[in-house]
Structure 1
Amino acid sequence: MNPRRKKRLLAVIAIIFGVGSAIGLMLYALQENINLFYTPTELIDGKGENKEKPFIGQKLRIGGMVVPGSVVRDEDSLDVSFKLMDTGPTVTIRYEGILPDLFREGQGIVAQGTLVEPNVIEAFEVLAKHDEEYMPPEVAEALKGIKHEKPKYNLNNEN
């Protein structure tokens, strides 16, 4: 083989190897930033046909209904703990910060955070349903058949 062709071939192989390595490293880095959506039942029992469960330390999103009577607020800080449910088991969500104005017991929410125990999530963001009609499609599909209870108080001071 001609020495000039040999140099070109090595250069092409080096470029292909470099581009392939860069793509591989980018995909590996992005793998840790994927936030998968779970319901409390999927988190406990596993998701999909293989019943795959998330690992401790994994970032994820979870959606469900706040269990009435489960909200516990720390008096000295902004720490809040509450339970989330769908049709099966409950999951505990711990959050430090100010909850959305629409956050209520019996309300549908989506929390984004890190799994710290098999049924405990340390949330860094809590989103509440913004009106009676809207719910993210993932949450609506997961919560079919759950009875939604409206708060027992009236915001308009009407009887």
Structure 2
Amino acid sequence: MTKKTKLLVGGGLIVAALAYLINSGIREAAVYYMTPSELKAKGDAVSDRSLRVGGMVVPGSLHWEPQTLKLTFRLTDGKEEVAVEHTGSPPDLFKEGAGAVVEGRCVDGGAFQSSMIMAKHSEEYKSPEKGGAPAEHIHRTLVQPQSTP
């Protein structure tokens, strides 16, 4: 093998390794999820498999037990609903009528056992009312107090 051939083979291996790492990173970062309708259509085929389900939290379905940290609610895509059980504190943006993606497994009885909740937030910006200032907590978050020497 000539020196030029060795360099080309080595360079090709490095490019292939980098492409693989980039592709793996993109797949890990992407949040793919099924809708409740897709989940119901798959039936037992997804039983006990780790997956994500996304939809809107059904108003009136949210039940929180602070002593046991048990949270139950239903997700809908407008056609089907999925009952979700979660143990742990929900995210701050999580509420009824809002979008959410849950990660976990389907368990016996058709319920979804969640290990993580990702609350979806609105992409709509709401400015303060005319002549008004931003809420106090937002102002404190954005404007850090200056330390005196």
If the TM-score is normalised by the length of the shorter chain, which range does it land in? 0.5 to 0.7
Corresponding residue of 1:82:
73
**Structure 2 spans left out of the alignment, 5+ residues:** 125-149
Question: 4+ residue runs of structure 1 moved beyond 3 angstroms?
Answer: 52-55, 98-102
Q: Secondary structure at the match of 2:79?
A: coil
Q: Secondary structure at the match of 2:78?
A: coil
Corresponding residue of 2:127:
none
**Structure 1 spans left out of the alignment, 5+ residues:** 47-51, 135-159
* Shift in alpha-carbon separation, 1:53–1:64, aligned structure 2, 3 A: farther
Corresponding residue of 1:25:
21
Matches within 5 A, 1:110-149: 110-111=100-101, 113-117=102-106, 120-122=112-114, 124-127=116-119
Q: Secondary structure at the match of 2:71?
A: strand
CA–CA separation in structure 2 for the residues paired with 1:42 and 1:125: 19
Corresponding residue of 1:38:
34
The structure richer in helix per residue is 2
1:119-148 CA distance string (max 9 Å, x none): 515153343666xxx6xxxxxxxxxxxxxx
Matches within 5 A, 1:57-68: 57-58=50-51, 60=52, 62-66=54-58, 68=60
Report how many residues are paired: 117
TM superposition shift of 1:54: 9.9
CA–CA separation in structure 1 for the residues paired with 2:120 and 2:20: 37
TM superposition shift of 1:28: 3.0
**What TM-score comes out, normalization by structure 2 length?**
0.57
CA–CA separation in structure 2 for the residues paired with 1:115 and 1:125: 9
1:82-135 CA distance string (max 9 Å, x none): 11123333212334214547723xx13223x323116515153343666xxx6x
Give the root-mean-square deviation of aligned CA atoms.
Answer: 3.4
* Shift in alpha-carbon separation, 1:54–1:39, aligned structure 2, 3 A: farther
TM superposition shift of 1:35: 0.8
* Shift in alpha-carbon separation, 1:82–1:54, aligned structure 2, 3 A: same
Matches within 5 A, 1:10-21: 10-21=6-17
Q: Secondary structure at the match of 2:50?
A: coil
CA–CA separation in structure 1 for the residues paired with 2:23 and 2:83: 31
CA–CA separation in structure 1 for the residues paired with 2:24 and 2:118: 27
